[in-house]
């Protein structure tokens, strides 16, 4: 089924990517093709599992169960403590919290251990079943619209990775808002569409947000779109927090009016009054230390890479210097060879000049010059040649 309308009502959507259109008015990406299955059809498969259909049960147990088991385990130690830490900044136990899309129930379990009156909600029956088996937590079954919950009966609603799957996000959130007390809140994690980037730019950068383009994600919101959506359903105060997966998600708390933030000291004393709370506080503490260590590791990794680059640069410089040194040594050897050649040549010429002068001494002309007393210069020259000769031999 082709979809050409944004949640905000705008029907003039612009092309964005092969699978999404862009709503310029609110800043949302809208999936082009929506599954033809009605929500009732989608649930039929789950109903079969519930009713004990052997084939469906085998499929679930072989394919989905190991994934859920792994997810439950990792949620308890990585994103669960992170979410809880943020939740505690805005609300201390005791308080009634509903998690919509609670999966195998790990976060509901964590909230309960912290002292909250927490319950989950799932449209998948096996999640309901596993939540009670693994964490002994209550989980409602079916969409929020079908639940018999009283108006203003909840202190908070948690929706992690849910918003992008909703077919009518505004209607669903209006229902959620009615369930929350005026001083309550909704805590949301959903992919963040970086509205400043075109599809081509995302591809060029291999942006992690591209992994969010899957058929199940009907709407992908920018921060602007999320603010607009929550404003429209009556939760205009939207406070963004750092997301656990900060490179493609956003994480925020929405409320009717600004919420106060509890201090670390207030959080500690709220948790340390009971055994489970103490265990949870210790888990949060460990998580914090682990995160610090991860940060330091990343920092060290970067420093190591920089040092490696510097060492490589120095190695190149060293090689260059060695080449220069080798060519200087060759030039010096050439000079020495030339010097030796000239020494031999000087010696030969000096000997030649000596022979010539000796010849001159024997000649009549020399005897004549001697008679006139002009021989001294010849004698000096002879001495000079002899000294020159000796000098060139000595070296």
Interface with Zn ion (CB under 5 A): 6, 8, 10, 23, 25-26, 28
Please identify, using beta-carbon distances, which residue of 26 and 163 lies nearer to Zn ion.
26
Burial of 357 from C-beta contacts in 10 A (0-12 / 13-18 / 19+) = middle
Shortest approach of Zn ion to residue 160 CB, angstroms? Answer: 23
Please identify, using beta-carbon distances, which residue of 167 and 205 lies nearer to Zn ion.
167
Shortest approach of Zn ion to residue 184 CB, angstroms? Answer: 26
Please identify, using beta-carbon distances, which residue of 21 and 96 lies nearer to Zn ion.
21
Shortest approach of Zn ion to residue 220 CB, angstroms? Answer: 11
Please identify, using beta-carbon distances, which residue of 168 and 322 lies nearer to Zn ion.
168
Shortest approach of Zn ion to residue 25 CB, angstroms? Answer: 5
Shortest approach of Zn ion to residue 292 CB, angstroms? Answer: 40
Cross-strand pairs, 250? 190
Please identify, using beta-carbon distances, which residue of 125 and 169 lies nearer to Zn ion.
169
Tell me the C-alpha distance between 254 and 244, whole Å: 17
Please identify, using beta-carbon distances, which residue of 6 and 88 lies nearer to Zn ion.
6
Shortest approach of Zn ion to residue 9 CB, angstroms? Answer: 7
Tell me the C-alpha distance between 190 and 254, whole Å: 13
Shortest approach of Zn ion to residue 161 CB, angstroms? Answer: 21
Please identify, using beta-carbon distances, which residue of 11 and 38 lies nearer to Zn ion.
11
Shortest approach of Zn ion to residue 23 CB, angstroms? Answer: 3
**HEC sequence for the chain:** CECCCCCCCCCCCEECCCCEEEECCCCEEEECECCCCCHHHHHHHHHHHHHCCHHHHHHHHHHHHHHHHHHHHHHHHCHHHHHHHHHHHHCCCCCEEEEECCCCCHHHHHHHHCCCEEEEEECCHHHHHHHHHHHCCCEEECCHHHCCCCCCCEEEEEEECCHHHCCCHHHHHHHHHHHEEEEEEEEEEEECCCCCCCHHHHHHHCCHHHHHCCCCCCEEECHHHHHHHHHHCCCCEEEEECCCCCCCEEEEEEECCCCCCCCHHHHHHHHCCCHHHHHHHHHHHHHHHHHHHHHHHHHHHHHHHHHHHHHHHHHHHHHHHHHHHHHHHHHHHHHHHHHHHHHHHHHHHHHHHHHHHHHHHHCHHHHHHHHCCCCHHHHHHHHHHHHHHHHHHHC
Please identify, using beta-carbon distances, which residue of 138 and 236 lies nearer to Zn ion.
236
Please identify, using beta-carbon distances, which residue of 96 and 228 lies nearer to Zn ion.
228
Cross-strand pairs, 254? 186, 238
Please identify, using beta-carbon distances, which residue of 29 and 350 lies nearer to Zn ion.
29
Radius of gyration of the chain (CA): 44
Shortest approach of Zn ion to residue 14 CB, angstroms? Answer: 11
Shortest approach of Zn ion to residue 219 CB, angstroms? Answer: 9
């Amino acid at each position: 089924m082709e979809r050409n309308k944004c949640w905000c009502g705008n029907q003039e959507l612009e092309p964005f990517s092969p699978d999404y259109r862009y709503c310029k008015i609110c800043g949302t990406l809208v999936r082009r093709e929506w599954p033809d299955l009605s929500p009732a059809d989608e649930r039929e498969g789950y109903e079969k599992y519930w009713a004990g259909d052997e084939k469906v049960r085998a499929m679930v147990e072989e394919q989905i169960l190991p994934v859920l088991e792994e997810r439950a385990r990792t949620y308890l130690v990585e994103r669960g403590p992170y979410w809880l830490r943020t939740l505690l900044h805005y609300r201390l136990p005791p308080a009634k919290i509903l998690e919509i899309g609670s999966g195998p129930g790990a976060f509901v379990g964590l909230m309960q251990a912290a002292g909250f009156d927490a319950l989950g909600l799932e449209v998948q029956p096996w999640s309901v079943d596993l939540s009670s088996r693994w964490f002994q937590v209550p989980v409602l079954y079916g969409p929020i619209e079908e639940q018999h919950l009283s108006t203003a009966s909840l202190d908070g609603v948690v929706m992690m990775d849910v918003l992008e799957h909703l077919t009518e996000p505004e209607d669903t959130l209006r229902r959620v808002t009615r369930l929350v007390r005026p001083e309550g809140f909704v805590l949301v994690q959903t992919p963040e569409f970086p509205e400043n980037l075109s599809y081509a730019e995302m591809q060029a950068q291999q942006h992690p947000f591209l992994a969010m383009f899957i058929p199940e994600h009907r709407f992908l919101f920018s921060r602007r779109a999320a603010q607009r959506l929550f404003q429209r359903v009556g939760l205009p105060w939207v406070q963004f927090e750092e997301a656990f997966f900060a490179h493609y998600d956003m994480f925020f708390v929405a409320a009717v009016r600004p919420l106060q933030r509890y201090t670390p000291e207030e959080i500690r004393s709220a948790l340390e009054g009971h055994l489970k709370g103490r265990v949870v506080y210790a888990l949060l503490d460990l998580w914090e230390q682990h995160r610090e260590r991860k940060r330091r590791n990343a920092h060290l990794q970067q420093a190591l890479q920089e040092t490696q680059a510097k060492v490589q640069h120095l190695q190149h410089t060293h090689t260059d210097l060695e080449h220069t040194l080798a060519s200087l040594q060759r030039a010096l050897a050439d000079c020495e060879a030339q010097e030796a050649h000239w020494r031999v040549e000087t010696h030969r010429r000096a000997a030649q000049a000596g022979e010539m002068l000796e010849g001159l001494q024997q000649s009549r002309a020399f005897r004549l010059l001697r008679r006139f007393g002009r021989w001294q210069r010849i004698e000096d020259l002879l001495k000079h040649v002899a000294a020159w000769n000796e000098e060139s031999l000595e070296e």
